[in-house]
Amino acid sequence: MVASVLRAASAVARMAASSQCKAAVVRGVVARPRFAAAAAARSAASGQSLRQARTVCAAAATAEPETFQYQAEVDRLMDLIVNSLYSNRDVFLRELVSNASDALDKIRLMALQDSEEYKSGTDLEIRIRADKEANTVVIEDTGVGMTREELIGTLGTIAKSGTAKFMEAMKEKKDANLIGQFGVGFYSAFLVADKVSVSTKSNKDGSQWLWESAAGAHSYTIKEDAAADIPRGTRITLHLKPDATEFSDPAKLESLIKQYSEFISFPIKLWVKTTKSEQVVDEEATAKAQVEAEEKARAEGKEEAAVDAVQPVMKTVTHEEEQWRVQNDNKPLWVRSPKSVAKDEYDAFFKTTFREFIEPLGVAHFNVEGTIEFSSMLFVPGMAPFDQDRSMAKSRNIRLYVKRVFISDEFDEDLMPRYLSFIKGVVDSSDLPLNVSREILQENRVVRLIRRQLVKRSIDMISDIAGREDKKEYAAFWESFGKFIKLGCIDDADNRKSLAPLLRFSSSAIAAEKGLTSLSEYVERKKEGQTQIYYLAADTRAGAEASPYVESLVSKGYEVLYLTEPIDEVAVQTMEEFEGLKLVDVSREDLNLDDSEEDKAALQSATEEFKGLTAYIKKVLGDKVEKVSVTSRLTDSPAVVVASKFGWSANMERIMRAQTMGDARSAEYMRGRRIMELNPQHPIIQSLKGKVELESREAREQVQLLYEAALLAGGFMIESPKDFAARIYQMMEQQQQQQGGGSAGDGGAAAASASAAPAAKKAPAGGAKKAAGGGKKAAAKKAAPAAEPAAEPVDPEVL
């Protein structure tokens, strides 16, 4: 009997040493009935109970930890994280702090339902401590904690949080840098740690458990933690890699907390060293001062007893103290009611968060509740950034938070259209997962709804600035960000009607020094019966004012908008109309000026009268123009070249030709047809009309010169500047010859008449040579016909 009991006890000891018995004892059961019988017999023989035998077996089991294999997906994920080239490892602290915050949220919710949960402690906080000597970082929370089963289920498998989807995306794209765009949760600790230890205690379990694993390992261990120093919560200890020692510096951790977790609702305390100074008595200096006072008294003949004690001499001493310091004192303004936030608070938040030094022009603070819930604060900066041209291409002005945890500021394109990229702000959503990537944002319905709200609120905020009494504020906004609004009219068809009233342009009705005008103000000033809004695109306002396209319009009292920026013409063309009035480019054909019947009849009559001239000009110019017609749009210029209804205008053609990567073939295709219009009242046109019948070379040259001059006046580029210059030089030479020959001929005739008349009276016929001043001069005079005008310069000797 005794021998059988001993054999049974030996079997129990062997099983306790084996992994099978360890697992069975921890679970509180014995796997095989014969072991139970042997243990019972042993207990009966030794006077111990079965419960005490199980305790002994459990103690033997917990002496060494249990080993578990990672789930296959976790093993693959660990391999990706540890072995990938990852440039931004800072994300680990954000993830671990977020997990701690979730644990605190859970215990707080559980305590609302059962106050007994707080018996293990009422403080809800997160503590972070770095140890440079041990090269460790400890993150501890007083949250809900975990049981042994929860440790296995949470840290040994992948929860339904999108991590498996992340791995598939990584496998397909093979892009290691994508890791930073996902919240990889607890496993991000292995980005900086060779070994991770997790000590945790839950109210549901009387034991404290220790989970441990190493980077690159395919398994983890769990055992009961003998320290048992956690009332409730979780403590994560990171044993840093040799190349991650920077994270053992409290200053580095402080900067990461400020960047990612500044607005966590629970206090985050960091163990830091502080230098304190205090005033103490300088004994040596005080004694010296006392001696000096006594010597002075003796020198003055006073008794030593009469000398008063001097004032103690103080000195400043410093010493270092280690203490817990709260890192997230700032509370997120966006979670508060807009009515409770003062303007000074908005200004301070804007300057601090976005590193600005000028107050914002506008603020939009709102909370959205319903199918989705999120809070946001948007700001219009007080001035444009110095690198505004580059900021439109890639901005980082919208800070995305998920449950007050900073995720990224690189999702501007997903949350805001590019024409609102100058808007700065924060968005905090509870409906987005922490493992946010650009792919998830693009596919997420919540993001589309958030984007729609942000655009609407931004336009409302800008409209509010435009409607203020102080017009200088919107003038400052337009000077900095006007191009963005014009871009919005091009890109955003859904909000084009809302953006149109925000546009500002120069106008013929507003002096340059008085600023710009809006389309609404144009409509208020329009002439009675006017059905169109007229505009002209040009390089400058001065160029637009001197353009022949606006001569008749301005003289008749019509207002013309001057579009002086390259983007203006495209923005206006996409709008087509405003408040029922069609937007019309005055540099194109068939301009309707709301003429009377009398004006139309006069134009028809002039068309018939100059029919021959228009046909001749078309014949001379050939394919250079689509047609030649008579117009009523000109008052001072003899002719103008206008563009057809379709294709580029003169201004757009000039802009597109200046593009570095322009396509010559597409430029030729998009160039509009050119139409030459004549002013029938101009003397040049009337003079040219009489020369047409001669079919002379002079008339053809004048037609070419008139066409090229009209091109330049209209803003077009001439095809052959050399030929144009040659015609100008030829005209100058002819004019010089005519002026020189005419003045010499007229002067010679007058001089000859003046000298010949007295000679005829005083001298005989044979003395004509003497009266003429010499034989050669008289012969030359007699040889020149008197009736023919001098067409060439006259020799001075003839005179």
* Cβ contact 749:789 at 8 Å: no
Number of Cα atoms under 13 Å in the Cβ half of residue 542: 0
User: Between β-strands 268-281 and 126-131, what pairing exists: parallel, antiparallel or unpaired?
Assistant: parallel
Place of tokens 């948007």: 378
Interatomic CA distance for residues 703 and 624, integer angstroms:
12
184 is in an annotated binding site: yes
Q: What are phi and psi of 177, to 5 degrees?
A: -70, -10
Is residue 714 a contact partner of residue 642, using CB atoms and an 8 Å limit? yes
Q: How far is CA 453 from the centre of its chain?
A: 18
**How is residue 737 written in tokens?**
């010859």
User: Strand 627-630 to strand 674-678: parallel, antiparallel, or no bridges (unpaired)?
Assistant: parallel
Cβ contacts of 191 within 8 Å, gap of 6 or more: 81, 82, 86, 89, 91, 92, 244
Are the beta carbons of 264 and 405 closer than 8 angstroms?
Answer: yes
Rounded to whole angstroms, the Cα distance separating 535 from 504 reads 13
Is 160 annotated in a binding site? The answer is yes
Per the annotation, does 313 bind a ligand?
Answer: no
Decide: 685 and 610 in contact? Cβ < 8 Å.
Answer: yes
What whole-number distance in Å separates Cα of residue 703 and Cα of residue 688?
8
Q: Is 141 annotated as a binding residue?
A: yes
Q: Is the distance from CB of 428 to CB of 434 less than 8 angstroms?
A: no
Q: What is the CA radius of gyration of the chain?
A: 47
> Of all helices (H) and strands (E), which one includes residue 429?
strand 424-429
Is residue 153 marked as binding? no
74 carries a ligand binding annotation: no
Pairing of strands 581-585, 560-563: unpaired
Closest CA to 217 of 82, 385, 394: 82
Residue 122 annotated as binding site: no
Three-point CA angle 436, 442, 448, nearest 5°: 105
Is 254 marked as a binding-site residue? no
Pure H helices in 18-49:
19-26, 33-46
Beta bridge partners of residue 280, listed in sequence order: 315
Please check if 99 is assigned to a binding site: yes
Consult the annotation and say whether 185 binds a ligand: yes
Measured distance CA(26)–CA(9) in Å, rounded: 18
662 known ligand binder: no
- Annotation-wise, does 47 bind a ligand? no
Question: Distance between CA 725 and CA 722 in Å, rounded?
Answer: 5
Q: Compute the distance between CA of residue 127 and CA of residue 272 in angstroms, rounded to an integer.
A: 11
Nearest one of 161, 146, 322, 127 to 237, comparing CA atoms: 127
CA distances from 724 to 419, 707, 711 (A): 43, 10, 11
Consult the annotation and say whether 196 binds a ligand: no
d(CA 598, CA 592): 15
Binding residues: 95, 99, 141, 146, 160-162, 181-186, 234, 438
Binding residues for ATP: 95, 99, 141, 146, 160-162, 181-186, 234, 438
